[in-house]
Amino acid sequence: MPKVNLTAPAPDFELTDYTGATFRLSDQHGRSNVLLVFNRGFM
């Protein structure tokens, strides 16, 4: 796996949240911090 520089900007992406709303990283531009949590599903 390639290393990621800690100062590199995150690529823009789009996900659906738990309510079905679309979340875009680019919509959060200008906020001081964005924390994303990815829960692993169990089968």
CA distance 38 to 2: 20
Angle value at C-alpha 33, between 17 and 4, nearest 5 degrees:
90
The predicted model scores a pTM of: 0.58
CA distance 40 to 33: 23
Q: What is the pLDDT of residue 43?
A: 60
* Cβ–Cβ < 8 Å for 36, 23: no
CA atoms within 13 A on the CB side of 15: 10
- pLDDT tens digits, 1-43: 788 788 888 889 998 988 999 999 999 888 888 887 777 776 6
Q: What is the pLDDT of residue 13?
A: 92
